[in-house]
Structure 1
Amino acid sequence: MKRTKPLPAKVQRWPEQHIPSIVAVRDVSHDWPRSRVWELEAAGEVRRFVKVSPSEKFFTRETRAYRHVLPALGHGRAPHLADSRAEDLVLLLTAVPGTPAAGIALSGAEWRAVHQQAGTLCARLHEAGELDRTDRAEAGASLEAAADGTEKYLARAGDRLTEDERQVIRDYAAQLRRVGPVSVGYIHGDNQPKNWLRSPAGLALVDFERTRPAARVQDFVILAVTEWLDHPDREKAFLQGYGREFTDAERHALRCLTALDAVNCLAWGPDNDHPEVTARGRRTLDLLMRENMP
C-alpha cells in the first residue's frame, strides 16, 4: 500500500507566498520513494503543485525545461513554472486539465487518438529550438553514455540474469555504439501514458525532470516495450502525429535500447519493490532471448 507523504516542513510556508489561501494539501506522488509531489487547493478553485526534485540534476533539468523548452508545446500543453527554490530543490507548478491516460478505460480508437496527439507533442518537444554547442555534444554522446551504463546495471541485477542473458545485453550495448548518426533534440525522458494528461481540450504532458538533450529515439523505449508491443496500431498512430517514420538507424538503436532498458528494470525493479517495472524488464529480455536463439 502506498504511504502518504507529508509536505516537508521546510517548504510548507513557501507556497503561501504565492497562494495565500491554501485550503487543502494532497499527496499525489508516484508510488516510489523518491517521488514527492503535492497538489495544493486554494480558495477560488485555484490548483498548484509543489514538487521536491529527487536530486540537483533532476531539479536543474526540469527548471530549465520549463523556462526554455516547453513553451514550444503550445498553450495548455504543459504546466508552467510559477517559482522555484534551488536550495530546497522545490518547484511550484501550475495545473493543466486532464487525467493520466494510463488510468482511463479507453476504446481502441480513443487510444489511437491519444497516441497520435502524443506523437504531435513529442515532435514539438524534440524540435524545440536549436541545441547550443554544449547541448549538441551531450545529445551526440547520449547513446554512447547509455551503452557505458550497461556494466553498472548488470552488476546491480546480479544473479537475476543468466550468463547467456548477460552476453546478449553486452552484444546489444556494443551494437548501440555502432548504429551511426541519428537525430538529436530535447527529449521528455519518461514518455509514457502516465505522463500524458487527457482532457476534452486535448493532451498535455507533465513530469519533465528527465528532459535533456539526447538522441530522440531514446524517448520511445518505454512505449516500444509496453504500449506498442501489444498494440502496433498505437505505434502507427503515434508516428502519424510525430510526422515521420523511424530511420533504419533509429530502429536499430531502439532495439538495442530496449535490451538496456530490460537490464535496468531488472536491477531497479526488485530493489525498489516495483513488480511492474521488474515484469517489464523480464518480458523484454525473454522476448529478445527467443529472437536471438539460433
Structure 2
Amino acid sequence: MRRRGLFFLDRHSIDAAFTLLPLAGCRRSVTSALDCRNGSNIVIDHKRNADKSVPDDNRITACASRRWQFDAQRRVDPGGSCRVWAGTCSDGSAAFLKWHPQRRSWRQEEQALRQWLPQIAQELANRPELLDSSEQEGLLLISAVAGEPVESGTDSEQELHIIHRQTGVFLRELHRLEVVDEDPVALSKAMPERLQGWIDKADGVLKDDQIVQATKCIGDGSLFANDRRVACHNDYQPRNWLWDGHRLGIIDFEHAHLNHPGFDLVRLQVGTWQESPSLRESFLDGYGQYPDWLDDERMDAIITLFAIGCVVWGTQHHQEKLVELGRRCLA
C-alpha cells in the first residue's frame, strides 16, 4: 500500500514574470488586509529591502513560536529563496511556516490564500489554508495538504489522467474568479516590455538570433489586444500538485498574480504534454473548453517569453536544466 503524506513544500521555481482543511489549533486571523495588485503593478522598495538584515533560521522559528505557538520541527525547502518549516500547532495539528524574503511574493501568496482560494469549492481540490500571517516578518502559517507529489512518478497512467482532469477543473475555476485588474499597463503593452526586461538582464547569455526570433514572435504585443488578465497560479505543474489517491492538491502560490491564462499552461505545453499528449486532452476535458489561444501565435509568444526567461534566469542562478529547457523551446 502506498504511503500517504502531508506536503506543502516550497519548490525553487523561476520568477513568475516569465511564466512570469482547517486546523483548529492555530489562530486564523490575518494581521493585515492587503490590496495586492498583480506582479507588474507592484513597486518593490529595493533600498528598504537592502537595509533590512536577513534573519537567520532561529530568529524566524522563534518569532513563529512566540506569535502562534508553532513548533518548527524540520526545514523542508530545497534551498530556494523562500524558507519552509514543517511543524505542529499547539494542538498537534500539522502546519507549515513559510518565510518570504521579498514582500512581493509574500503579498502574492497571502492574497491567493486569503482571497482567491476560499472562493473555489473545497471539493474540487485539497489546498493550503492561511492560518495566520505577518507582513512585517514576511511569514505565512499555512495548513498542511494531503498527498504525495505528482512529479515523483509513482502514479499509474490511469491516475495521471484523473489528476490532469482534476487540474483542469481547478484551473477553470481559478481563471473564472471575478478579479479587478488594477494594472494601468495593458497586457498587449506589458508583453513586449517583459521581453525587453529579460533582454536588458541577459548580460550576453542570449544569442543575437534568439533575441531577433523572440522580438519577432512577440512583436508589438497587439496579438494580446483582445485578451485579459485572470487569476493565475503561474507555476502550475506536477511539482506543485499532490495526489492522495482520490483528490488533487495544489500548493505553492507565491507566484500567483493576474496574468494571461496561457502562463498557467506553458510548463505543461512544453513539458508533460509533449511526452503524453493524451494528458492534455484529459486536462482540457476538465477545463471545459479549448482556449482559442492554445495553439495559435499567442501561445507561441508565451512559450518564447518563457524560454527567454529560462535562459537568462537559469544562467544567472546556475540552473542548467532550466537553461536547457529554454534553449530547447527556442530551437
Alignment of 1:118-137 (within 5 A): 118-128=167-177, 130-132=178-180, 135=181, 137=182
State the shift of 1:19 in Å: 5.9
Whole-Å separation in 2 of the counterparts to 1:227 and 1:115: 10
Contact 2:87–2:94 (CA under 8 A) maintained in structure 1: yes
* Structure with the higher helix share, 1 or 2: 1
Q: Confirm or deny that 1:215 pairs with 2:264.
A: no
Q: Confirm or deny that 1:59 pairs with 2:117.
A: no
State the shift of 1:106 in Å: 2.7
Whole-Å separation in 1 of the counterparts to 2:138 and 2:321: 28
- What is the RMSD computed on CA atoms of the aligned residues? 2.5
Q: 2:117 aligns with which of 59, 70, 93?
A: 70
Contact 2:293–2:299 (CA under 8 A) maintained in structure 1: no
Alignment partner, residue 37 of structure 1: 84
Higher mean alpha-carbon deviation, 79-88 vs 137-146, is at 137-146
Alignment partner, residue 317 of structure 2: 272
Gaps of 5+ in 2: 1-10, 12-54
CA deviations on 1:193-227 (whole Å, 9 max, x unpaired) are 11111112400111111111222222111111111
Whole-Å separation in 2 of the counterparts to 1:30 and 1:237: 31
Contact 1:176–1:256 (CA under 8 A) maintained in structure 2: no
Gaps of 5+ in 1: 287-294
State the shift of 1:248 in Å: 4.2
Alignment partner, residue 135 of structure 2: 86
Alignment partner, residue 279 of structure 2: 234
Contact 1:153–1:264 (CA under 8 A) maintained in structure 2: yes
- Letter aligned with residue 11 of structure 1: I
Contact 2:262–2:294 (CA under 8 A) maintained in structure 1: no
Higher mean alpha-carbon deviation, 249-258 vs 93-102, is at 249-258
Whole-Å separation in 2 of the counterparts to 1:127 and 1:139: 21
Alignment partner, residue 40 of structure 2: none
C-alpha spacing 1:243/1:62, structure 2 compared with 1 (3 Å): same
CA deviations on 1:78-114 (whole Å, 9 max, x unpaired) are 1111111111111000101011211232333322221
Whole-Å separation in 2 of the counterparts to 1:21 and 1:88: 15
Contact 2:97–2:142 (CA under 8 A) maintained in structure 1: yes
Alignment partner, residue 196 of structure 1: 241
Q: Confirm or deny that 1:9 pairs with 2:54.
A: no
State the shift of 1:21 in Å: 7.2
Q: Confirm or deny that 1:49 pairs with 2:96.
A: yes
Q: Confirm or deny that 1:114 pairs with 2:159.
A: no
C-alpha spacing 1:227/1:119, structure 2 compared with 1 (3 Å): same
Matched pairs, number = 276
Contact 2:108–2:254 (CA under 8 A) maintained in structure 1: yes
Whole-Å separation in 1 of the counterparts to 2:284 and 2:100: 31
Secondary structure of the structure 2 residue equivalent to 1:161: coil
Secondary structure of the structure 1 residue equivalent to 2:223: coil
CA deviations on 1:203-259 (whole Å, 9 max, x unpaired) are 011111111122222211111111112221111111111110011477422110100
Higher mean alpha-carbon deviation, 146-155 vs 196-205, is at 146-155
Secondary structure of the structure 2 residue equivalent to 1:13: helix
Secondary structure of the structure 1 residue equivalent to 2:314: helix
Identity of aligned residues (%): 25
Query: What is the TM-score with the length of structure 2 in the denominator?
Result: 0.76
Whole-Å separation in 1 of the counterparts to 2:84 and 2:186: 31
Contact 2:150–2:241 (CA under 8 A) maintained in structure 1: yes
- Letter aligned with residue 62 of structure 2: R
- Letter aligned with residue 131 of structure 1: V
Whole-Å separation in 1 of the counterparts to 2:184 and 2:236: 17
Whole-Å separation in 2 of the counterparts to 1:145 and 1:250: 21
Q: Which structure has more RCO (C-alpha within 8 Å, separation ≥ 6)?
A: 2
Contact 2:188–2:223 (CA under 8 A) maintained in structure 1: no
Whole-Å separation in 1 of the counterparts to 2:56 and 2:244: 28
CA deviations on 1:164-212 (whole Å, 9 max, x unpaired) are 2210011112164324412542111111111111112400111111111
Q: 1:95 aligns with which of 144, 150, 153?
A: 144
Q: 2:269 aligns with which of 224, 228, 232?
A: 224
Alignment partner, residue 209 of structure 2: 164
C-alpha spacing 1:46/1:143, structure 2 compared with 1 (3 Å): farther
Whole-Å separation in 2 of the counterparts to 1:230 and 1:175: 32
